[in-house]
Every structure is written in C-alpha cells, then in structure tokens.
C-alpha cells in the first residue's frame, strides 16, 4: 500500500498540492519555502493541475489573493517562510476572522535579525495568536500527511490552517516517504462545498463590527478552535484507516514510566528520540511529548501526559523575550496550572535558534540537566539557553 518515494519536505508538500489540485494558489517566493510554489508552478505549466496560479508582488498580496479566492468559494493555498509570514500578518487575522479555510504551507525559518535563513520557529510562533490552526511535522512524511488532512480539518471548522515544517532540516533534506495514491487522496480530501460564498447567494466578507458585535464574532472564532480538537482526532482516525499511519494532537514517546520528559515540536523530536533510545538502553527512564497540533493547543492532553513525571523541560525554538520563558513553556505551564498538577518541576530550554544544529548530544545534555534537578531537588534557573557560548 502506498508509493515508495524519496522526496524533500518541500517536494512532498508540492506533490500533496498536486494530488489535491486546489483552485487557486497565490504565492511569492522566500527561502526556504520557495521550492513549493516553484515545483507547483511547473505542475500548472505542464497541465498536471488546473489551479489558477497567481504570482503576486508580496506575501501580503499572496494572502489577500487567497482570501478573495476562498471567499468566492475556491480552495486557496499559499506557501511562505520567515519575514514572508510576517508580511502576511495583517491578512492572517483577516483570513481567520472571515472564517476562510485557506491552507498555508510554512517552511519555518528564523526572523531577522541578525539576518539568517536557517530554521527556528520564531516565524510561526509570532503568528500564533492570529486564529489559524497550526500543525507541525517532524519529518517530510508528517508534513505530507498533515497537508493531506489539512483541508478536511480546516473546512470542518471554517478556520484557516498552517502546515509547518522545519526549514532546510526537513524542507531540503531528501528522505524516504510513502505517498498515497492520487485517487485515494482525491477521495479522502473530497470536494469543497462551502455553506456560503461570494459566488453562491449573498455573503458579507470583512464587514465592520461595532462593539455591539465584535466580541461575539471573536467568541465564535474561539469556539471553532475549541471544536477543532475533535475534528483533528476524527480526520486523523480516517487517515489512519487509509494509510495505517497514526496521528493525534500529541505523540507520546516512551512516556509510560518516564521520570524525566521533554516537550518538543518539529524535526528535533526525531533527534531526541534517538537520544532517548540511547538513554533507555542504559536504564534511564526518559521520554518525550511531541506537539503535532500547536493550534488548537492540546493543554489537557499534555497535562495528563506529564502528570507522573518528576521533572520536564519544554523546548522552545523561539524566544518570547519576556525575560522568563518561551511560548510553549508558557502554554504548558498554564495547562499544568489549570489541571491543578503541581508536582512535576519544569524548566524551559531555548534551543536551535537560527539553525544552531540540534544534536543527539544536545538532547542528552537536557536530560542531564533534568537529572541534576531530580538529584538536588533544586530547579535553579528555569529559563535556560542550550548549546550557547556565554
């Protein structure tokens, strides 16, 4: 079952787009996501898809194009990275509040400055409050699989969705992948049949809302994000039936009897798994929780998974510059607080910024720091940078 291939993460996304054959792509190139519209435009040129490809002059216009197209009842897609995502910022909020299930592929890259083209999550994390669904991938396979599930999830709750992977680390690395057959993809994704659209009946897009209505619109947006958790689970279950590949909001790896755990997102989860295999072989009770769905945030699921550990480290590939922690640590801590789980001690590790290589040894150093906390009972500084020259 499936088609054995080897593709980079960017190619894998472009192939998923080809198999889905969406109506409109609005795109402007930026490293390291450039290859996505590049590959896809060749499919348009070869007639392999009948997508309207609109080459625009900026990312702001790329997202505006998607908003117009999706509001007209089309499936609209784009791809971007880093400052390109920042340049879309204003329109990301418009897309989400207009409840348009646009699909955006993000090959995550650091934000300036210093100027840097390599991977971290400062671009994606900086748009985390825009109201988009956000799924993250460890591998090219997960990026592809998430993309195939994206439209079903987004369209069920009328929210736009970002499919994030790590720039260069997975976007430009050739690895094995199992593709789903074209006809199965078409059946799985199905047709887009919006209840309302500009070209079907009448619909107001982007209206002004006075204080008498604005907060109700936002409350509905919040409800859609809450509802998305069950939708993600159910689409993932259908995907598993088709492919045998299991997905959830989070992945727990060696967590059953873990005393020390890390919470991580993206490609470094794979490197961490290798570190955990090595440490487990010497009898150390270590595990990890990988966040697949960052929006909606799996607060209850993470709190439950951490309930019995002695100590955990939340790994943030972006800093919030708030003088005490990165974004994922803040949300994990809130999740623990709400669940009234106070026993595990937690620290925050800022790592991998601007492409600083994350090695098996890097993760081993994190577990060693956690071991120190278990032994001494002293958390010490909870806001730590990993593998940095001081």
Partner 1 sequence: MKDIVEIRWHGRGGQGAKTASLLLADAAFNTGKFVQGFPEYGPERMGAPITAYNRISSERSSVHSNIYYPDYVVVVDETLLSAVDVTAGLKAEGAIVINSAKTPAELRPLLRGYAGKVCTIDAGKISQETLGKNFPNTPMLAAIVKVSGVVAVEEFIKDMDASFHHKFATKPQVIGGNMEALKRSMEEVTVG
* Cα–Cα distances in angstroms (integers) from residue 10 to residues 34, 76, 287, 348, in the given order: 9, 18, 29, 30
CB 353 within 8 A of CB 359: no
Query: Minimum distance between the CB of residue 222 and partner 1, rounded to whole angstroms?
Result: 35
User: Smallest distance from the beta carbon of 373 to partner 1, in angstroms?
Assistant: 25
Q: H/E element holding 374? A: helix 360-376
Q: What does the longest C-alpha to C-alpha distance in the chain come to?
A: 67
Query: Segment 106-145, which members bind partner 1 (CB under 8 A)?
Result: 117-118, 138-139
If one asks whether residue 169 binds partner 1 (CB under 8 A), the answer comes out as: yes
Instruction: For the CB of residue 166, give the shortest distance to partner 1 in the complex, in Å.
Output: 8
Stretch that binds partner 1, among 62-70, 195-203, 234-242, 354-362 (CB under 8 A): 354-362
Footprint on residues 187-206 left by partner 1 (CB under 8 A): none
**Residue 245 CB, nearest approach to partner 1 (Å):** 13
Q: How far is the CB of 237 from partner 1 (least distance, A)?
A: 24
Query: Is residue 42 a contact point for partner 1 (CB under 8 A)?
Result: no
From the list 43, 45, 91, the residue with the least C-alpha distance to 71 is 91
Give the integer Cα–Cα distance in Å for 77 and 227.
23
Which one of residues 23, 52, 175, 284 is an interface residue with partner 1 (CB under 8 A)?
175
Helices 214-243 & 89-97 angle (0-180, nearest 10): 90
Q: Answer for the pair 170, 121: CB distance below 8 angstroms, yes or no.
A: no
Q: Does 290 bind partner 1 (CB under 8 A)?
A: no
Is there binding between residue 172 and partner 1 (CB under 8 A)? yes
Residue placing its CB nearer to partner 1 in the complex, 40 or 253:
253
Of 22, 32, 298, 327, the one binding partner 1 by CB under 8 A? 32
Q: Please give the helix or strand (H or E) that residue 372 lies within, else none.
A: helix 360-376
Whether the Cβ atoms of residue 352 and residue 328 lie closer than 8 Å to each other: no
Is 168 an interacting residue with respect to partner 1 (CB under 8 A)? yes
Site string for partner 1, 2-31 (x = CB under 8 A): ----x-------------------------
Of the listed pieces 53-61, 148-156, 170-178, 322-330, which binds partner 1 according to CB under 8 A?
170-178
Which SS3 state, helix, strand or coil, does residue 294 take?
strand
Using N-to-C axis directions, what is the helix angle for 299-306 and 327-338, rounded to 10°?
Answer: 80
* 68 binds partner 1 per the rule CB under 8 A: no
Q: How far apart are CA 317 and CA 119, in angstroms?
A: 9
- Say if CB 182 and CB 133 are below 8 A apart: no
CB 261 within 8 A of CB 309: yes
At residue 351, what are phi and psi to the nearest 5 degrees? Answer: -145, 165
Specify the residue, 149 or 268, whose C-beta has the smaller distance to partner 1: 268
- Least distance to partner 1, CB of residue 171, Å: 10
Please state, in angstroms and rounded to a whole number, the distance separating the CA atoms of residues 59 and 27: 7
Q: Residue 172 or residue 304: which is nearer to partner 1 going by CB?
A: 172
Residue 26 vs 352, nearer CB to partner 1: 352
Stretch that binds partner 1, among 148-156, 173-181, 201-209, 242-250 (CB under 8 A): 173-181
Q: Tell the smallest beta-carbon distance from residue 339 to partner 1 (Å).
A: 30
304 to 260, 298, 301, 373: CA distances (angstroms): 15, 10, 5, 21
When asked if residue 236 is in the footprint of partner 1 (CB under 8 A), the reply is no
**Piece in contact with partner 1 (CB under 8 A), picked from 187-195, 217-225, 329-337, 356-364:** 356-364
Sites of contact with partner 1 (CB under 8 A) = 6, 32, 117-118, 138-139, 166, 168-170, 172-176, 267-268, 270-271, 273-274, 355, 357-360, 362
């Amino acid at each position: 079952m499936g088609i054995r291939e080897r593709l980079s993460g960017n190619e894998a996304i472009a192939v998923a787009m080809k198999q889905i054959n969406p109506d409109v792509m609005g795109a402007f190139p930026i490293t390291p996501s450039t290859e996505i519209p590049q590959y896809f435009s060749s499919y348009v040129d070869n007639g392999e898809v009948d997508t309207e490809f609109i080459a625009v002059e900026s990312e702001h216009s790329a997202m505006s194009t998607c908003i117009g197209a999706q509001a007209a009842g089309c499936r609209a897609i784009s791809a971007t990275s880093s400052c390109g995502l920042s340049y879309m910022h204003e329109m990301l909020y418009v897309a989400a509040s207009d409840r348009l299930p646009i699909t955006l592929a993000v090959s995550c890259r650091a934000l300036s400055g210093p100027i840097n083209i390599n991977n971290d999550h400062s671009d994606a994390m900086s748009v985390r409050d825009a109201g988009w669904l956000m799924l993250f991938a460890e591998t090219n396979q997960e990026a592809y699989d998430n993309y195939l599930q994206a439209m079903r999830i987004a369209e069920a709750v009328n929210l736009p969705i970002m499919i994030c992977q790590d720039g260069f680390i997975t976007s430009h690395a050739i690895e094995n992948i199992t593709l789903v057959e074209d006809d199965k993809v078409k059946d799985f994704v199905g047709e887009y049949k919006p209840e309302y659209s500009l070209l079907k009946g009448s619909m107001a897009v982007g209206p002004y809302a006075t204080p008498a209505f604005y907060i109700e619109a936002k409350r509905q947006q919040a409800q859609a994000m809450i509802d998305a958790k069950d939708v993600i689970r159910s689409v993932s279950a259908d995907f598993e039936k088709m492919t045998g590949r299991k997905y959830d909001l989070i992945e727990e790896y060696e967590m059953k009897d873990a005393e020390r755990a890390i919470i991580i997102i993206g490609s470094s989860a794979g490197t961490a798994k290798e570190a955990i295999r090595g440490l487990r072989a010497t009898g150390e009770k270590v595990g990890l929780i990988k966040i697949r769905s960052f929006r909606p945030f799996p607060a209850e699921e993470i709190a439950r998974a951490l309930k019995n550990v002695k100590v955990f480290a939340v790994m943030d590939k972006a800093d919030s510059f708030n003088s005490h922690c990165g974004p994922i640590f803040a949300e994990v801590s809130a999740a623990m607080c709400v669940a009234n789980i106070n026993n595990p001690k937690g620290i925050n590790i800022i790592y991998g910024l601007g492409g600083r290589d994350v090695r098996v040894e890097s993760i081993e150093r994190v577990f060693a720091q956690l071991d120190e906390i278990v032994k001494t009972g002293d958390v010490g500084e909870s806001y730590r940078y990993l593998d940095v020259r001081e």
